[in-house]
Amino acid sequence: MSMYRLVYYSRNHIASDPALYENAVNDILAKSRVNNARDDITGALLFNAGCFAQVLEGPLDKVEAAFERIQQDDRHGDVSLLGIDPVDQRSFPNWAMGFVGISDADAVRFAGIGSDSGFDPSRLDGEQIHMLLRDLTMEEETAFC
C-alpha cells in the first residue's frame, strides 16, 4: 500500500497557563496515539508557546481523515498545509505520535534558524520541518536507549 507524508504548522490557541497547557497537550497526545495506532499513522508533533508543527505519515485516506479532524480542532488555528507527498518509507516508524518541545536554542542547533524572534515554523518549508522533527525524535530515541 502506498504511503504518504503530510506536514503542517499552526498557531497554538491553548491557554498559556502551564497547568492547563500540560493537560491540554497530554490530552491531544493520548487521543493521537490511540487514533493513530488504529489508523496505521506514525509521526511527530513539535510545539512551543506560539505554534505547533506536525508530520503525519501513513495510508493516504487515513492521513487525510486525521488532518480533517485536526483542522476542526479549536485548540489551534491558522492551520497551514505545507505538503502531502508519497514516500517510500516512514521517518517515524516507532512513534504513533512522537512529541518534542522546542527551545529557540534547539531551533538554531538543528535548523540554523535565527532565534531573535523565537522559533517560527512559518519560516520553514515542509522538508525542513520534517527533517527537524526527525532529528529531534531520533535524539529522544537515543537518549532512552
Residues that bind ligand FAD in the complex, under the rule CB under 6 A: 27-28, 31-32, 35-36, 45, 52, 54, 56, 66, 69-70, 72-76, 97
Question: Whose Cβ is closer to ligand FAD: residue 69's or residue 123's?
Answer: 69
Spatial distance between the Cα atoms of 119 and 132, rounded to a whole number of angstroms: 12
Question: Whose Cβ is closer to ligand FAD: residue 13's or residue 123's?
Answer: 13
Query: What's the min distance (Å) between Cβ of 116 and ligand FAD?
Result: 25
Query: What's the min distance (Å) between Cβ of 56 and ligand FAD?
Result: 6
Question: Whose Cβ is closer to ligand FAD: residue 39's or residue 135's?
Answer: 39
Give the total residue count for the chain.
Answer: 145
Spatial distance between the Cα atoms of 42 and 92, rounded to a whole number of angstroms: 6
Spatial distance between the Cα atoms of 6 and 64, rounded to a whole number of angstroms: 8
Query: What's the min distance (Å) between Cβ of 48 and ligand FAD?
Result: 12
In angstroms and rounded to an integer, the radius of gyration of the C-alpha atoms of the chain is 14
Spatial distance between the Cα atoms of 20 and 69, rounded to a whole number of angstroms: 22
